[in-house]
Chains A and B, each alone.
Chain A
Amino acid sequence: MFPEKLNVPLGKWVNRFVDWLVVNYGDGFEAFADSLLTVLVWLEHILRGTPWWIMVIAIAVIGFHASRSWKIAAGLAIAMIAIGTLGLWDKAMQTLALMIVATSLSVIIGVPVGIAMALSNRLRAVMLPILDTMQTMPSFVYLIPALMLFGLGKVPAILATVIYAAPPVIRLTDLGIRLVDREVLEASRSFGASRRQILWKVQLPLALPNIMAGINQTTMMSISMVVIASMIGARGLGERVLMGIQRLDVGAGMEAGIAIVLLAVVFDRIGQAYGKRSQRSPLAEDKS
């Protein structure tokens, strides 16, 4: 037995800290939650309000724009229609809205953090264990304090998703920038480019394929979080899976599961196609 005297009451400290946060900063958290919720509800409203065939066409068009292949565009359209035929269109749109918000938030936070990590070895040393923690810590552990701070519903679901899904885009942004050929950087410096010019004109464009791969993985991970998110009141496909588990309705669970997979495949193909194209694109050319 490990001597009890040496036990650290970490749990108690965390409880006290969360209580203190709720008491002192509850209003602030609520305001933040409200603004996030407004965006999500608005997006959800649009996606659910759009006729299904327009959504299917939109997905096909995006697919074609990304891949320049009719086959892929048609395949994506069929996958979306298949979700509809399972009777899960509306739920899929709710999930989609959640996923878009969570992924956008992850990218908005993740890319700058990744850039900062690439530029500073010290920050990188600090961030790596944090990222490991974010990815391995069971999500229920941070769902509970998130619930206490933001209440039941979509906002804690989004935050839990961001914590789980942001690490890949952070890691791959860092990696992408670090992999840029040294001689190319040296050439850029020899022409008198400032750090800012090097970042925008050389490092980011060359890291773009890796960043796109990171965004793709982040998207996939945020889709995979929908089931857990549904446990704290986020609606959508995860809710159906949960219901299937609770009622031992294997069929309903399977339907929703397939719809999640289809949604994931659709966004994976789009993300990958953009990733491939970004390897030679005039993107970021004129930003400075």
Chain B
Amino acid sequence: MSYIEIRNIFKIFGPDPQTALQMAKAGADKDEILAKTGHTVGLHDVSLSIERGETFVVMGLSGSGKSTLIRHLNRLIDPTSGEVLFDGTDILAMSISELNAFRRKRLGMVFQRFGLLPHRNVINNVAYGLEIQGQDRKTREDAARNWIERVGLGGYEDKFPDQLSGGMQQRVGLARALATDPEVLLMDEAFSALDPLIRNDMQDELVKLQGELHKTIVFITHDLDEALKLGDRIAILKDGKLIQTGRPEEIIMHPADNYVRAFTRDVNRSRVLRARTLMQPISDDDNINASWPRIADDMRLEDILPVALATNGSMSVIDGQEKLIGILSKEQVIAALVA
């Protein structure tokens, strides 16, 4: 069983969700249910498995239900029907106090508009989760200072949120979520409100932190580039339904339908595709020329390109253990760029 399991979640908004739920289960779609009952279908039969330590990105446009979905993981929203299992525990069966203890110890969340406490300075915002846990002042301030330093905000401890730029505020939000050392980080469009350069910085920061921390991250975004950059796996939602789940390369190379294809059209493929995906797996070692440049299997196309241009022959692809696993020719590189 996976670390987080979401099974057949339906979420219907409105005064009498049960009637609409029956319709949805019978296969009626969002527009039909809205027209007939006035109820909005937030999520339609969504099932997902998220593994420990992976960055799982849920992508969708506004109204696709992605923010509703992430709120099911910490029960800020309860489903109309379905199950949410966390490390084997059914979180929907938890009492209020069990749920609060679960949220305090195991989850951290980062919000699109930051959700910082405007009456508290940076250090007291970051220490908030620990304060809720009942840690004493010294422990929580030490931890908060450490995390403020790690997200690059050292020196801003005594500033208030409205004195900081958007990017800095979200660093506070990130530090606050990490300060309790949660197993899972829920990020709801965490970087969407930031301007592009800052957003890029924050993405890099997150990738760097994740390289050190190995948390399970569930990241919500409407931006496919962001999803491809951050995600180990990506789920694409449309109108509350799950369209496709897969690794970034899978999404790019084999979009499930025209909706996903339309998204992937504008993506910079050289940033997503890796040697592993493009190479020809080795059949016999004889074809290898020792003078060929060796490239790592997780190297991105954009980084392979200069190597390919500098060589006359092909390239040999090696895995993490330095073992030869495939070959990649110049023609294959060019073909991947053109496709």
Using CB atoms and an 8 Å cutoff, list the residues of chain A in contact with chain B.
181, 183-184, 186-194, 197, 201-202, 205-206, 208, 279-281, 285
Contact = CB atoms under 8 A, between A and B. Distances in A.
Contacts of A190: 74, 76, 103, 107-109, 186
Contacts of A197: 132
Contacts of B180: 191
Contacts of B138: none
A190 B120 CA distance: 18
Contacts of A206: 117-119
B217 interface: no
A186 B115 contact: yes
A181 B103 CA distance: 20
Contacts of B111: 183, 186-187
Contacts of A186: 76, 111, 115
Contacts of A187: 109, 111, 115-117
A285 B114 CA distance: 21
Interface centre among B120, B124, B132 (most CB of A within 10 A): B132
Contacts of B99: 192
Contacts of B128: 188, 191, 201
- Interface majority SS on B: helix, strand, loop or mixed? mixed
On chain B, which size bracket covers the interface? Answer: 20 to 34
Contacts of A205: 117, 119
B127 to A, nearest CB: 11
Given A190-B108, A194-B100, 18 more contacts: A183-B111, A183-B112, A183-B115, A184-B115, A186-B111, A189-B103, A190-B74, A190-B109, A191-B128, A192-B102, A192-B103, A192-B105, A192-B133, A193-B132, A201-B117, A201-B132, A202-B117, A280-B118
A281 B119 CA distance: 7
8 contacts: A184-B118, A186-B111, A192-B107, A192-B129, A192-B132, A193-B132, A197-B132, A285-B124
A174 to B, nearest CB: 19
B67 to A, nearest CB: 10
Interface of B: 74, 76, 97, 99-105, 107-109, 111-120, 124, 128-129, 131-133, 160, 180, 186
B104 A192 contact: yes
A201 B117 CA distance: 9
Nearest to B96: A194
Given A201-B131, A285-B124, A192 B100 contact: yes
Nearest to B105: A192
Contacts of B115: 181, 183-184, 186-187
Contacts of A191: 103-104, 108-109, 128-129, 132, 180
Contacts of B120: 285
Nearest to A194: B100
Nearest to B115: A187
Interface centre among A191, A201, A281, A285 (most CB of B within 10 A): A191
Nearest to A208: B119
Contacts of A194: 97, 100
> What are the 5 tightest A-B residue pairs by CB atom distance, in nearest-first order?
A187-B115, A192-B104, A192-B103, A190-B109, A192-B100
Contacts of B103: 189-192
